[in-house]
């Protein structure tokens, strides 16, 4: 029983530090959901990427059916490392939206490559 107790005590001591690395501020969380949603008619124009300081380009981005469910580590990386990647956006509808739909976004090519690299390291 003491082994189990010491293991639990050890986990409880480490957990806040591990979780704090995945924690987003409320502003970062809001920004993430704004990035992931296609429903923003008044999406900000970012002609220069705020992370990479390179010009963005206008691209049509596919809209994926369904709600966006992402791991906290992806959410944190998206907001901080590749906010203008826009590989796709979520329709935020549970039902199918029908044939392929696209929206226009300002895309940073460096963000796109950063997200592809991140996904290769973390999803594969």
Q: How far is CA 88 from the centre of its chain?
A: 11
pLDDT in tens, 13-22: 433 333 344 5
Domains of the chain by residue range = 25-122
71-109: per-residue pLDDT in tens?
Answer: 888 888 998 999 999 988 877 766 666 678 888 889 999
Question: What number is the average pLDDT over the span 30-59?
Answer: 76
pLDDT confidence of residue 43:
58
- Min mean pLDDT across 7-11, 29-33, 76-80, 88-92 is at 7-11
Scored b (16 or more CB within 10 A) or e, 65-89 reads eeebeeeeebbbbbbebbbbbbeeb
């Amino acid at each position: 029983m003491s082994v189990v107790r010491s293991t639990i005590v050890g986990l409880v001591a480490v957990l806040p530090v591990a979780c704090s690395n995945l924690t987003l501020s409320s502003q970062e969380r809001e920004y993430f959901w704004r990035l992931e949603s296609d429903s923003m008619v008044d999406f900000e124009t970012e002609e220069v990427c705020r992370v990479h300081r390179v010009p963005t380009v206008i691209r049509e981005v596919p809209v994926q059916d369904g709600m966006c469910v992402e791991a906290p580590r992806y959410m944190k990386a998206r907001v901080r490392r590749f906010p203008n990647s826009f590989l796709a956006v979520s329709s935020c509808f549970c039902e199918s939206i029908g044939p392929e739909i696209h929206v226009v976004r300002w895309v940073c090519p460096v963000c796109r490559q950063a997200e592809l690299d991140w996904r290769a390291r973390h999803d594969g």
